[in-house]
Amino acid sequence: MCVMVCRPSVPVHTTTDRSVATLFAYVTRRVLISVPLLVIAMYLVHVGVSATVDPRSDFYLCLPRCQEGFDSITETYALDTNIFLRPFTYFADLFSGDGLGFSSSVGEPVGEVMRTRGWNTAMVAIPAFLLGAVLSLLLSVYSARRQYSVGDYFFTGLSFIGFAMPSFVLALIIQVIFGVKLEEWFGIKPFNTGRKTGENFWELLRDITLPAVSLAILGIAADSRFGRSSMLETLNQDYIRTARAKGLTERTVVWKHALRNGLIPLVTLWALGFSALLSGSVVTESIFSWPGIGQTFLRALGDSDLDLLMAIVMFTGVLTVIFNLIADVLYGVLDPRIRLG
């Protein structure tokens, strides 16, 4: 409440207002550009998938006895029309209120499949991302501050191993060691090799740990390398030297002044990485029997489930656009010199 002196309540355009307006315009422009890009991507994916998978493949060997089913699928997916025109049937159904369609491979409406499987993926992706982000950040700072130390070489070596190792090999190694051998060696079995019921917290923790760690390691290997380079470059900048000359503690120099700039390349990697994690990991989810988007994608591909494939592609595309946008916005937050124009 205003007691003493009140300013007249007239609108004042501040710098913050202008920044918000610029940001809004920027985001709007990016979204508007993304929509046609997504549509074109979906059109190409539909044509590509239609050209390589035939939802009737199981029916050829039982014709003419199963002609009825064959014809039904032909009609459902408009397979008797030109392959370049088929996506328009899909889009027409999508916007006519029929929604995303029905998943023949899962036996549920596609919207429901995306909701449940998306949540399952998020249950692993979020801890994997957080674990990966925190550890890659710590490793980046450690390696940059102690360049060419034994620890730096050790973590660099580990990163290269993690970077070079195919994800399915890493996932299987983790599964065998922590899911199978731990019990054999030490008589304890803290983790499950795959998703079980997992409805109480501890069971869920046992289910989630191995896939989340597998995904996190893959992220850490790449991110810590980029983070290290970026931090090294930042720590050698003049303003850091000035900060040290002013007598600031090393902790303040690193964590307050250097980290903010050093984070910029990591933000891009984290944004794209998190978007990829939320889109599901085909390999990791398959190995750990995790019923997420990645495993569902594989199943949809195997069963020529066009509606589900399209929904997943659309979901992945939308996530990529959103997280790219978030990364761009975060650049501006981390470095005021970057302007969204």
Partner 1 sequence: MNTTRRSHKLLAMTAASALVFAACGSDDDAADTVSTEPTEDSVAEEPAEEPAEEPAEEPAEEPAEEPAEGEGGGTLIWAHEQEPGDLHLDDPENNLSITSWIRSAMIEGLFGISGSTEYYPELLADDGELTTNDDGSVTGTFTMRDGLLWSDGDDLTAEDVVWTYNTIMAADGETEDGDPNYIYLLGDRTGLDTITDISADGNTISITWSAFFAGYKGVLNEVYPMHQFNADPAVAAAELNDGLRGWTTPDGSTIASSGPMIFDSWDKGVQMNLVRNDAYSGSNSPDAKNDGVAFVDGVQINFVTDTDAQINALQAGEAQIVMTQPQLSFEDLASSDDFTVASSAGPVFEHWGLNLNNVHLAKPAVREGLAFAMDKTEVMAGLYTPLFGDSLPADGLGNTMWLSNQSTYENHAGDAGYGAGDIASAQAALEGAGYALNGDGIYEHPEDGALTLRVGTTGGNRLREIQQELIQAQMSDAGIDIVIDNVEGGAYFSEVPFSADAIACATSGGAEGNCDIWDITQFAWVGGPWPGGQIASYRAGGPNNPYGFANDAFEAKADECDATVDDVERAACYNEIDRYVTTLELDAENGLFMLPLTQKPSFYGYTSDLSQAGVAPDAQGSGPLTNVADFQFAD
Residue choice 25, 35, 44, 63 for contact with partner 1 (CB under 8 A) = 63
Helix (H, G, I), strand (E, B) or coil at 214: helix
Q: Least distance to partner 1 from the beta carbon of 45, Å? A: 15
Region 219-258 residues binding partner 1, contact defined as CB under 8 A: none
Tell me the window of 54-62, 145-153, 271-279, 315-323 that interacts with partner 1 (CB under 8 A). 54-62
- Residue 108 forms beta bridges with which residues? 103
Q: Considering the complex, state which of residue 170 and residue 267 has its C-beta at the smaller distance from partner 1.
A: 170
d(CA 329, CA 331): 5
298 counts as binding partner 1 under rule CB under 8 A: yes
52 binds partner 1 (CB under 8 A): yes
Task: Choose one: 63-71, 122-130, 310-318, 327-335; the region binding partner 1 (CB under 8 A).
Answer: 63-71
Dump the DSSP string for 243-304.
HHHTT--HHHIIIIIIHHHHHHHHHHHHHHHHHHHHT--HHHHHHTT--SHHHHHHHHHHTT
| SS3 of 60-91 | HHHCCCCHHHHHHHHHHCCCCCCCCCHHHHHH
d(CA 101, CA 109): 6
Does the protein bind partner 1 through residue 154 (CB under 8 A)?
Answer: no
Residue 278 phi/psi, 5-degree rounding, is -70, -20
CB under 8 A: which stretch of 87-95, 169-177, 233-241, 256-264 binds partner 1?
169-177
Q: What x/- string results for residues 174 through 193 when contact with partner 1 is judged by CB under 8 A?
A: -xx--xx--x----xxxxxx
Nearer Cβ to partner 1 (106/144): 106
Using CB under 8 A as the binding rule, whether residue 61 contacts partner 1 is answered as yes
CB-nearer residue toward partner 1: 54 or 93: 54
Q: Does 315 bind partner 1 (CB under 8 A)?
A: no
Q: In this structure, are residues 193 and 210 in contact, taking their beta carbons and an 8 Å threshold? A: yes
State which amino acid sits at residue 316: T
Q: In Å, what is the CA distance from 7 to each residue of 2, 3, 16, 17, 18?
A: 9, 11, 19, 19, 21
Contacts (CB under 8 A) with partner 1, residues 89-108? 103-108
Task: Give the footprint of partner 1 on this chain (CB under 8 A).
Answer: 52-54, 56-66, 68-70, 72-73, 103-108, 116-117, 120, 172, 175-176, 179-180, 183, 188-197, 199, 202-203, 205-206, 286-289, 291, 295-296, 298-299, 302-304
